[in-house]
Amino acid sequence: MVLERKVLGLKFKNPILPASGTFNMGREVAEFYELATFGGLITKGVTRAKRQGNVAPRTVETVGGMLNSVGLQNPGVDAFIKNDLPFMKKQGVPVIANACGTTIEDYVYVASQLDKSNVDAIELNISCPNLGKSCGGMSFGVDPEMTKEVVSAVRKVTKKPLIVKLTPNVTNIAVIAKAAESAGADAISLINTLAAMAVDIKTRKPILGNKVGGLSGPAVKPVALKMTWDVFNAVKIPVIGCGGISDYRDVIEFMLCGATLVQVGTGLLTDPMCVPKMVADLEKWCRENKINSLDEIVGGLKV
Amino acid sequence: MQKQHTTKVIKIDNVAKDTFVFRLELPKFPKIIPGQFLNVRVPGFTLRRPFAICDWDEKNKTVDFGFTVRGDGTRALSNAKVGDTLDVLLPLGNGFDLSGLKDKKIMLIGGGIGAFPLLSVVKNHANCYSFLGFTAKELVLLEKEFKTASKELVVNIGGFVTDDAEKAIPKIKPDVIFACGPEPMLKALCNKKLTIPVFVSLEQRMACGFGACLCCNQRVLVNGEEENLRICCEGPVFKSEDVIWS
């Protein structure tokens, strides 16, 4: 009970969610343990039409982290609602659908389809670095005006809780967060991956087939913590922290910096079993530190 | 089924230059299919390392896997000692389908460390004809093991083992070919347009190993449509005619 979070009109039995894109639609992790181990679930990013994603290789390990350039391979929003959402909804915890697009019309289509479904909330992905040069994904999230435009358009077609996921590839993330808030976002999640590259000196080529990708994992945690703190201090809506979380101490760090909930991404790939351990360890820490509600630590950084 | 195992290293064999076979002891033994793989966590590294399972012993609850040192992660793993514990996900992937092949002849074609997953086939099927190719003498591995378990073994050093295998087809008359090795070798095999069904085991840079991240994609024809399938789940074994090579 101590871990329970009430956010966005939803009840999460703990603050730990999977980060979109590291969890597909949940079936694979479900082979390890019950998905209700998480406080809630987040889907792979879904788009208007089915996407095949980028060419191989799509991943490479780097020091303290990894790059990926999956490129939003997904079945499309309608197939997702038909084939995957029923499975996710059966798990008994809130389901958040991650929505992505290349144009405002795409985002609006995806959001309005999701609005008609029984997903509990929508996470608008305006931060995917793997959609190429065609406008879309991250190109919305790097500009406050475009952020406002896409969030307002989506806000008009859904009454479901709307989370906006931000990219760290900006000069001032607080400005983008405020733009999303003013356009009607109910929460901010951050960070998506940092645009990055890896090079093979033998072939003198980039290692990723897409040439560039996004960096995630423990290496980005300090960046994510700082940005979580920046956004927490800039907006009034809840903040969901993400970036390199792999154990309960990371969760506490993000909560001290203002995160109400957290997302675990690369940590799940390194060790799918990290989440049950994280939940148990967090509960133990709360007990040992006489914490009755996690609200007592959210934003409690002493500065 | 439990997929995550805390295992103990009980034997390490240096089978060729920079190439090792580790024997792990598992607390609980899962059902394994030849050609499946495991994903080992190497302390200090973000991503696990996927390696072919080359043999197992259900009674003694042991699994063998082989690997060669390619980078920092495999170098670190090669420094492990007998008695160390390793966090391993297994069994992963589809493996080679041996059902319906009971009395059939299987031709195995392996290039380099591509021999590892094929050993798991030869150990579980009585009618295998093995063709292994290596680029140099010091890289030859598992020769004794293949010789003992195969009807016939051909080892090619420095040449094209796929050509040796093709020449032997009229005499052996295999019912199916299983192959694993470097992409150019597998491509060359597929380009021979053999009339016998060929199944290839592929590899790709991988993250989770259990299907969640969609990083290890392979372009494959599914009902005539091109799809990106996951090497870790729908693979690593694919029907050669379905594979769209890069």
Angle formed by the axes of helices A104-116 and A144-157, nearest 10°: 30
The complex's ipTM works out to 0.94
The pLDDT value given to residue A132: 58
d(CA A245, CA A12): 18
Interface test with A, best of B88, B204, B228 (most A CBs within 10 A): B228
- Rounded to the nearest angstrom, the minimum Cα separation between A229 and chain B is 25
The pLDDT value given to residue A127: 84
Chain A within 8 Å of B238 (Cβ-Cβ)?
no
Pairing mode, if any, of strands B237-239 and B198-201? antiparallel
The pLDDT value given to residue A230: 98
Interface test with B, best of A34, A47, A270, A277 (most B CBs within 10 A): A270
- Inter-chain CB proximity B205 and A56 less than 8 Å: yes
- Inter-chain CB proximity A268 and B212 less than 8 Å: yes
Q: Are B41 and A271 in contact (CB under 8 A)?
A: yes
The pLDDT value given to residue A134: 52
Q: Classify residue B142 by burial, with Cβ atoms within 10 Å: 0-12, 13-18, 19+.
A: buried
The pLDDT value given to residue A1: 83
Q: Taking Cα atoms as reference points, which of A1, A8, A20, A36 lies closest to residue A163?
A: A8
pLDDT above 90: residue B80: yes
The chain B residue lying nearest A215, using CA atoms, is B46
pLDDT above 80: residue B186: yes
pLDDT above 80: residue B161: yes
Which residue of B210, B226, B228 is in closest CB contact with A272?
B210
Is the backbone peptide bond immediately before B236 cis, with ω within 30 degrees of 0?
Answer: yes
Residue A128 a catalytic site member: yes
The pLDDT value given to residue A128: 76
Q: A62: which chain B residues are within 8 Å (Cβ-Cβ)?
A: 46
pLDDT above 80: residue A14: yes
Q: A76: which chain B residues are within 8 Å (Cβ-Cβ)?
A: none
Amino acid identity at A136: G
| Residue appearing with tokens 């005619």 | B241
Touching A: B residues 193-212, CB under 8 Å: 204-208, 210-212
- Inter-chain CB proximity B205 and A23 less than 8 Å: no
- Rounded to the nearest angstrom, the minimum Cα separation between A243 and chain B is 13
The chain A residue lying nearest B42, using CA atoms, is A270
Phi and psi dihedrals of A88, rounded to 5?
A: -65, -40
Q: Where are the alpha helices (DSSP H) in chain A?
A: 77-79, 85-89, 104-116, 138-141, 144-157, 173-182, 221-232, 248-256, 266-270, 274-288
Q: B92: which chain A residues are within 8 Å (Cβ-Cβ)?
A: none
**Whole-Å CA distances, B50 to A73, B162, B232:** 22, 25, 9
The pLDDT value given to residue B2: 76
Chain B within 8 Å of A184 (Cβ-Cβ)?
no
d(CA B152, CA B146): 9
d(CA A202, CA B130): 33
Q: How many CB pairs under 8 A join A and B?
A: 98
The chain B residue lying nearest A209, using CA atoms, is B246
Chain A within 8 Å of B41 (Cβ-Cβ)?
yes
Provide the phi-psi class of B119: left if phi over 0, else alpha when psi is between -120 and 50, else beta. alpha
Q: Which structure tokens are listed for B77?
A: 């793993």
pLDDT band at A138 (very low <50, low <70, confident <90, very high): confident
Chain B within 8 Å of A165 (Cβ-Cβ)?
no
**Average pLDDT of span B119-148:** 97
pLDDT tens sequence across A200-219: 999 999 999 999 999 999 99
d(CA A264, CA A19): 5
pLDDT above 80: residue A133: no
d(CA A188, CA A56): 31
Interface test with B, best of A33, A54, A58, A275 (most B CBs within 10 A): A58
- Inter-chain CB proximity A269 and B73 less than 8 Å: no
- Inter-chain CB proximity A61 and B46 less than 8 Å: yes
d(CA B65, CA B93): 15
pLDDT above 90: residue A145: yes
Can you state the percent helix, strand and coil of chain B, rounding each to 5?
20, 35, 40
Q: Which structure tokens are listed for B185?
A: 């070798």
> Would you give the end-to-end CA distance of chain A in angstroms?
29
Amino acid identity at A282: L
Report percent pLDDT > 90 for chain B: 97
pLDDT above 90: residue A131: no
**CB count in 10 Å sphere of residue B89:** 24
Q: Is A187 helix (H, G, I), strand (E, B) or coil?
A: strand
The chain B residue lying nearest A55, using CA atoms, is B217
Q: A273: which chain B residues are within 8 Å (Cβ-Cβ)?
A: 4
Q: Is B207 helix (H, G, I), strand (E, B) or coil?
A: coil
Q: Taking Cα atoms as reference points, which of B162, B152, B148, B67 lies closest to residue B111?
A: B162
Which residue of B4, B47, B212 is in closest CB contact with A23?
B212
Q: Is A173 helix (H, G, I), strand (E, B) or coil?
A: helix
Catalytic residue from among A128, A242, A257, A274: A128
pTM for the full model? 0.96
> Would you give the end-to-end CA distance of chain B in angstroms?
35
Q: Where are the alpha helices (DSSP H) in chain B?
A: 72-78, 115-122, 143-149, 161-172, 183-191
pLDDT tens sequence across A157-204: 999 999 999 999 999 999 999 999 999 999 999 999 999 999 999 999
Q: Are B159 and B167 in contact (CB under 8 A)?
A: no
- Rounded to the nearest angstrom, the minimum Cα separation between B28 and chain A is 15
- Rounded to the nearest angstrom, the minimum Cα separation between B25 and chain A is 20
